[in-house]
Chain A
Amino acid sequence: MTDITHILNAIDSGDPQGSADLLPLVYAELRRLAAARLAGEKPGQTLEPTGLVHEAYLRLIGNHRELKWDGRGHFFASAAEAMRRILIENARRKQGPRRGGGLRRVDANIDQLSASDHDIDLLDLNEALEQLAAESPVRAELVKLRYFAGLTIPEAAAALGISVATAERYWAFARVRLYAALAEPRKNSENIDPD
């Protein structure tokens, strides 16, 4: 599919419109794949966003193996953002009035995929992530690449154009900051989030 390759090449040569053009394409593809997967899933099975991101990559970029890492980095950044939006939309559709606390179980297979010790409320995480993004876009971007697209630290560092050491510092800081934000009880637990 040459459309997306042109867009990625445009991004590589510094065209600021490139990233804006990329996101809707990646978003549309991921949404289509997610919907198809959900339609086919047996009840109780979970959706695996990494699989979707990579499948979207294969479908949109396919055999363009000559694509440099920079182009792939742009794709992953876009895919992480698109996946985040899809998951947030889905969580908003399914979730009722917001109660206190960002660290609790959410009942919806697409929202609760982490095997970690923590049960993460995706919408509260998203809110905390947006606050982080307002203060430090690159640190928030790192979190998105790792958490929503499953990139390792070296891969995320390459995608962001930062050193691995820097990525590790950003990651250590961002994790504790987001954790602290979610662990704090919500101040207005009676209000329904108007978003």
Chain B
Amino acid sequence: MIDVSKIEQIFLGAVSLDQAERSEYLDSHCGSDGELRQRVEALLAAQPDVGDFLEPPITGNTQDFGQTKDHPIGMVVAIRFEYYERQMP
């Protein structure tokens, strides 16, 4: 079984390259491993359509809970819980 990290690494390296550079990049990183190249190419083909897939969580947008981006993680959690605490009857 191909190592997922390897597919990931090559995919991320290739995704921002243009067609010509990408082809060279895959040649040098996949070598003769046809299955590896195929798996990476399948991801590269899907990437343009990904859009915001999975980005709005099924749980609703956490950004709705106000300004949390500048706070340390523990504070973010505390702010969100306090928000919910206020909402509860």
Contacts and interface: CB of A to CB of B under 8 A. Distances in A.
Interface of A: 48-51, 53-55, 57-58, 65, 69, 72, 83, 87, 113-118, 120, 122, 135-136, 139, 143, 146-152, 154-155, 158, 169-170, 172-173, 175-180, 183
Interface string B52-65: 11111111111000
- 10 nearest A-B pairs in the assembled complex, by CB-CB distance: A50-B59, A150-B59, A180-B46, A173-B8, A150-B57, A49-B59, A54-B84, A136-B4, A50-B60, A179-B53
Nearest to B57: A150
Given A147-B59, A152-B76, 7 more contacts: A87-B58, A120-B54, A147-B58, A150-B61, A176-B50, A180-B42, A180-B45
A49 B88 contact: no
B33 interface: no
A169 B15 CA distance: 12
Contacts of B8: 169-170, 173
B51 interface: yes
Nearest to A178: B54
Given A173-B11, A179-B50, A114 B56 contact: yes
A152 to B, nearest CB: 6
Contacts of B53: 116-118, 120, 175, 178-179
B42 to A, nearest CB: 6
Contacts of B43: 173, 176-177, 180
A143 B59 contact: no
Nearest to A149: B59
13 contacts: A51-B59, A113-B59, A143-B54, A147-B57, A148-B59, A169-B12, A170-B8, A172-B12, A173-B7, A173-B43, A178-B54, A179-B54, A180-B42
Interface residues of B, number: 37
Contact of A58 (B59, B76, B84): B84
Contacts of A178: 53-54
A180 B7 CA distance: 14
Interface in B57-79: 57-62, 73-74, 76-78
B49 interface: yes
Given A135-B1, A149-B57, A176-B46, A155 B76 contact: yes
A114 B55 CA distance: 9
